[in-house]
C-alpha cells in the first residue's frame, strides 16, 4: 500500500471517529437526565436491602420519593432511626425519634398444645392450606399452620418454625412487614420492640370451642381485662387485645390469665 493510501485511510478513520465523538457529545447533552443530588445522597445512606418494606419497589424508589417530598424521611423500616437521621440532614429536616417495632406471631398453639384432625403429607406451604381439607390439619382454624411461608418471605432470617409455630427473633427483625403479607391467617402484627406483654392467640371462637382445639387459646374469660388498672386490655370478638399505647407493662394481666397466653 502506498503512503498516500495509508494517509487517506487514516484521515477517513480519524474523521469518522471525530464525527462519532461530536455526535455522542451533543446527544449526551441533549438527552441527559438530570440527577437529583438529594436523591443520590439519600440512596447512598439507605441500607440497600430492597425489601419493599417501605411500600416501594426498592431503595431507589424510596429515595426518589423522599427527594420529591412524596414519602416521609423515616420511611425505611430497616434503617430505622439512624438512617432517618442521616436522611433528615440531607433534606434539612428534623426527625422525631420513632418507636422501634418488631413482628409478633399471635399464636401459642405449638405441637404440644394444639390438636390436629388428621395427619397431613404434602406440599409444606401455608398458602396451599386453603385448598386442603378444613384449611389444614390443625383443629384451630385461627392458628399458625407452621409451614413457614413467613420464614421464606423474611429477607433477614428473623423468623423460624419452632414446634410447629412461627417465632420471631426480635433482634434480627427489621419490621419490613413482608411476613405480615405472607401469612394467610393474618397472625402477624407489628408491636413496639419494648412491649413486654402480648396476647399469643387469635382464636375468635367461644371458650368451649377453643379448649377443644388448643390448650393455649384465649377463652375470653375477661380476667385480664378486669385486673388491668389502666384499661389497656379489652376482650373483643372473644379474644383479648392490648392497647400498646396505654399498656404500662405491669404484668398483672399475664399473672391473672388462666391459660398463660399473655407473654
Complete domains list, the chain, with CATH: 37-91 (1.10.15.40), 101-256 (3.30.70.20)
So what's the pLDDT on residue 212?
93
Site of grid cell 430505622: 80
> Percentage of the chain surpassing pLDDT 90?
54
> Model pTM greater than 0.95?
no
Please give the backbone phi and psi of residue 61, each rounded to the nearest 5 degrees, phi first. Answer: -65, -40
Residue 220 burial (C-beta neighbours within 10 Å; 0-12, 13-18, 19+): buried
pLDDT digits (tens, 9 = 90+) for 212-231: 999 999 999 999 999 999 99
Q: Mean pLDDT over all residues of the chain?
A: 87
Angle at 205 between CA 199 and CA 206, to 5 degrees: 100
238 contact partners, CB below 8 Å, separation of at least 6: 203, 204, 205, 206, 207, 210, 218, 220
So what's the pLDDT on residue 61?
86
Which helix H or strand E contains 102, and what residues bound it?
strand 101-105
Amino acid at each position: 500500500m502506498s503512503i498516500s493510501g495509508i494517509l487517506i485511510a487514516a484521515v477517513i478513520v480519524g474523521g469518522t471517529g471525530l464525527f462519532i465523538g461530536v455526535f455522542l457529545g451533543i446527544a449526551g447533552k441533549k438527552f441527559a437526565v438530570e440527577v437529583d443530588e438529594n436523591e443520590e445522597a439519600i440512596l447512598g445512606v439507605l441500607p440497600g436491602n430492597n425489601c419493599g418494606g417501605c411500600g416501594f419497589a426498592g431503595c431507589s424508589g424510596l429515595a426518589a420519593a423522599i427527594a420529591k417530598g412524596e414519602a416521609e424521611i423515616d420511611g425505611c423500616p430497616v434503617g430505622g432511626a439512624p438512617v432517618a437521621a442521616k436522611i433528615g440532614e440531607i433534606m434539612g429536616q428534623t426527625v422525631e425519634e420513632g418507636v422501634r417495632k418488631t413482628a409478633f406471631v399471635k399464636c401459642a398453639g405449638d405441637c404440644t398444645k394444639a390438636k390436629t384432625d388428621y395427619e397431613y403429607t404434602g406440599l409444606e406451604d401455608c398458602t396451599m392450606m386453603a385448598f386442603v381439607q378444613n384449611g389444614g390439619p390443625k383443629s384451630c382454624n385461627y392458628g399458625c399452620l407452621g409451614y413457614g411461608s413467613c420464614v421464606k418471605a423474611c429477607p433477614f432470617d428473623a423468623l423460624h418454625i419452632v414446634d410447629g409455630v412461627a417465632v420471631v427473633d426480635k433482634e434480627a427483625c427489621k419490621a419490613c412487614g413482608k411476613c405480615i403479607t405472607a401469612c394467610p391467617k393474618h397472625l402477624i402484627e407489628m408491636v413496639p420492640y419494648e412491649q413486654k406483654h402480648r396476647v399469643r392467640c387469635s382464636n375468635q371462637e367461644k371458650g368451649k370451642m377453643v379448649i377443644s382445639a388448643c390448650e393455649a387459646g384465649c377463652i375470653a374469660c375477661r380476667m385480664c381485662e378486669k385486673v388491668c388498672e389502666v384499661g389497656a386490655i379489652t376482650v373483643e370478638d372473644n379474644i383479648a387485645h392490648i392497647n400498646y399505647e396505654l399498656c404500662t407493662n405491669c404484668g398483672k394481666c399475664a399473672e391473672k390469665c388462666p391459660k398463660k397466653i399473655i407473654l
